[in-house]
Amino acid sequence: MSPGGTLTLGDLTVSRMGYGAMRLSGPGIWGPPSDRDAAIAVLREAVELGVTHIDTSDFYGPHTTNELIREALHPYPDELHIVTKVGAKRSPDKGWPSALSREELTSAVHDNLRNLGLDVLDVVNLRLAGEHGVFPIPVSITEPFEVLAELQQQGLIRHLGLSHVSAEQVKEARAIAPVVCVQNEYNVANRANDGLLDALAAINIPFVPYFPLGGFTPLQSGVLDDCARRVDATPMQVALAWLLQRSPNILLIPGTSSPAHLRENVAAAELELPADVLADLDVLAQ
C-alpha cells in the first residue's frame, strides 16, 4: 500500500508520501549522525511503511546520507526509487556554493552513483539555488542541463528534474530534455509557487514541495494549531495533508531522523481535511 497513492516520474511509479533523507546527517547537514543505528532504522521503517520515493543528495554530509541509504537498504527493492540532486557542493565553512560546471556536475553524478551503490540513477534534479538561498539564480539553465542530458544519454541517469527554478527555467530545460519533476519551496503559508504548481499540473509534471512547515508567523502557527486540534492531528500532519489535497501532482518528501515522527508523517497521507478546515488554511496565504 503506497501512502497517499502514487504518481509517476517518467516511467517510475512512486508513493506520493516520500521521505527526505537530508536530516539523517549531523547538525547543519554536516558529518555523521549522532545515532547511526537510529538513522538506519528510520530508512528501513520508511520502506516498511510503503514509501517508495527517497529524496537525497551526495552533498548532504557530504556523502554521509547516501552512505547511510546504501548501508540500510542496498540491494534496493525493485519498487524503491531514489531521487538525488546536483548543482551545489559543501565548502569547508559548511556553506552551500553552486557547483554547475561540466566537471562539477559530472563528478557529482559519479559521486552519487558510487556512494549509493548504483549503476544508474533513477532521477537527478539540477539545483539552482545560490549560496545564501537565493531563488532562483537568474542564469540560463541551458549549459548545466545539457551536461546532465549528455550523462542521461550515456546511460548514467534515467530521468531529469529541477530544483529551485523559475517557470522560465523550467521552459528552457524542457526544450533540452524531458523534465519529470520540479522541487521548489512551498507550503500552506508560502504560496509563491502557486502559478508554477498549477502550470505543471496541467502538463502532468509532479511538483515536490520542500520546507512544508516553516517560516510561519505566530498568527499563522496559531491558525494551524487550531485546525490540527479540530481534526485530532498534529500541525505537521495538517500541513502535509493540505499539500496532498492542494493538487494531485504533488509529491511529498518530509524529512526526519525520528521513527515516531516518520510514522506521524506517513499517517498524514490518510488524513482528509474537511472543507471548513481547508477554508481556514487557505486564508494563511493572504
Q: What's residue 135's pLDDT? A: 60
Q: Are 225 and 199 in contact (CB under 8 A)?
A: no
Q: What's residue 131's pLDDT? A: 54
Beta bridge partner(s), residue 98: 88
Whole-prediction pTM: 0.95
| Residues marked as catalytic | 60
Q: What's residue 217's pLDDT? A: 83
**Cis amide prior to 259 (ω within 30 degrees):** no
What DSSP string describes 102-157?
Answer: HHHHHHHHHHHHHHHT-SSEEEEEEE---TT--SS--S-SHHHHHHHHHHHHTTSE
Using only the alpha carbons of the chain, give its radius of gyration: 18
Q: What's residue 137's pLDDT? A: 66
Q: Are 54 and 255 in contact (CB under 8 A)?
A: no
Instruction: Give the span between the Cα atoms of 97 and 91, in whole angstroms.
Output: 7
Q: What's residue 25's pLDDT? A: 95
Instruction: Give the span between the Cα atoms of 179 and 185, in whole angstroms.
Output: 18
Q: What's residue 215's pLDDT? A: 75
Reading the block at residue 243, the C-alpha cell is 499539500
Q: What's residue 1's pLDDT? A: 77
Q: What's residue 168's pLDDT? A: 94
**Cis amide prior to 248 (ω within 30 degrees):** no
Averaged pLDDT in 10-residue chunks for the chain of 286 residues: 93 98 95 96 98 98 98 98 96 92 98 98 91 63 97 98 95 98 94 96 97 81 94 96 97 95 97 96 83
